Amino acid sequence: MSAVIGQSLSDAVVMVTGARGDIGRAVCSALGDAGALVVGTGLGDPPKDVRLQAWLQHDVTSAEDWAHVVREIRARFGRMDCLINNAGVALVERIEDTSIEQYRFVFRVNVESVLLGFKATVPLLRECGRYRSGGSAVVNISSTAGLRGVAFNSIYSASKGALAQLSKSAAKEFAALGYMIRVNTIVPGAVETRMMAGILSRYVDIGRAVSVEDQKSIFETLAPLGRMARPEEIAEGVAFLCSPAAAYMTGCELIMDGGAIA
C-alpha cells in the first residue's frame, strides 16, 4: 500500500489477532507497508509470507493469553497504538441442528474475545492515545451478516450483530470518559479466503447448494460489483481507520461489500 498524506502509520505499534488467516495476513502487510510495527498473534507458527516485528501465541478466548500478549508488547515496544480484532470463526448450520456448544463457541471467539481484548488493552491504548495524532485506534472485523442476517448462518450473524453494538457502545463510552481511543468496525461482505472456501463447501454439505461454484456465483451476484472482495482490499480499509486520516471517525461501520446492501 502506498500511504497518502494523513494515512501514514510510521512507527505505530499495531497488534493484529488472527494474523495467520487470509485477511489477517493482508492486514499485517498493509499496516507494515504504511510504516507500522506489526505484532501478529494467533495459534501455531507465524505466517511465512508476512514481515512482522513480533509473533505471539494467543488464544483470543483466554484472559490469561490477553494479559500475556499485552505484557510482552509493553516490554518489547513500550506502547500499543492500534488493535485489530480480526480473529473469528464462521458456522453454517440449520438453526434446528445447531448445538448450544456451537453457539457458545462462536460467541466466545467472535464477541467475548473482543471484550477480553478491551479489558486487557485499554490501559495501554489509553496511555498512548494521548500522544498520537488522532488517538489510539481499535478496528473490529465484522460482517454484513451482522447487519442483515443470512440463512443458515444464524449464529454467526447474531455474533457479528452483537460485535457491532459492542463496538459502537465502546466508542461512545471511551469518548465519554475522555479516552483518546477510537473504535470502528470494518464490515466486509463475501471475501475470497480459505474461510470462505469452507463456507461454500459447507453449503453443499447441508444440501443448500449443488456445488461450490454455484454457491460462489450466488454470493458474487449479490454485489453490484459482481465479485467477492480480495483480502488486500479489506486491509486497505483497516489501514485507513488506524491512520490519522480517520481521526474524526469513531463508532462507525465501514461497509466493504461491493454495494450489496447499499
Q: Give me the CATH number covering residue 56.
A: 3.40.50.720
Same domain, 69 and 141: yes
Same domain, 132 and 176: yes
Mean pLDDT of 9-24: 97
Same domain, 135 and 56: yes
Annotated catalytic residue, options 131, 156, 203, 248: 156
Same domain, 121 and 49: yes
- pLDDT at residue number 170: 98
Taken in order 253, 258, 261, 262, the sign of the CA dihedral is positive
Q: Is the pLDDT of residue 11 over 80?
A: yes
In this structure, is residue 239 part of a structural domain?
yes
- pLDDT at residue number 6: 53
Same domain, 150 and 241: yes
Same domain, 211 and 108: no
Q: What is the pTM of this model?
A: 0.95
Print the domain residue range for 200: 191-228
Q: Is the pLDDT of residue 1 over 60?
A: no
Same domain, 40 and 162: yes
Same domain, 99 and 167: yes
Domain tally for the chain? 2
Same domain, 123 and 216: no
Same domain, 155 and 177: yes
Q: Is the pLDDT of residue 21 over 70?
A: yes
Same domain, 129 and 87: yes
pLDDT in tens, 127-169: 999 999 999 999 999 999 999 999 999 999 999 999 999 999 9
Mean pLDDT of 98-127: 98
In this structure, is residue 84 part of a structural domain?
yes
In this structure, is residue 135 part of a structural domain?
yes
- In whole angstroms, give the CA distance from residue 245 to residue 261: 25
- pLDDT at residue number 8: 82
- In whole angstroms, give the CA distance from residue 94 to residue 34: 42
In this structure, is residue 78 part of a structural domain?
yes
In this structure, is residue 6 part of a structural domain?
no
In this structure, is residue 262 part of a structural domain?
no
In this structure, is residue 224 part of a structural domain?
yes
From the list 54, 44, 109, the residue with the least C-alpha distance to 76 is: 54
* Residue 156 bears catalytic tag: yes
In this structure, is residue 179 part of a structural domain?
yes
From the list 86, 228, 205, the residue with the least C-alpha distance to 152 is: 205
Q: Is the pLDDT of residue 103 over 60?
A: yes
Same domain, 36 and 79: yes
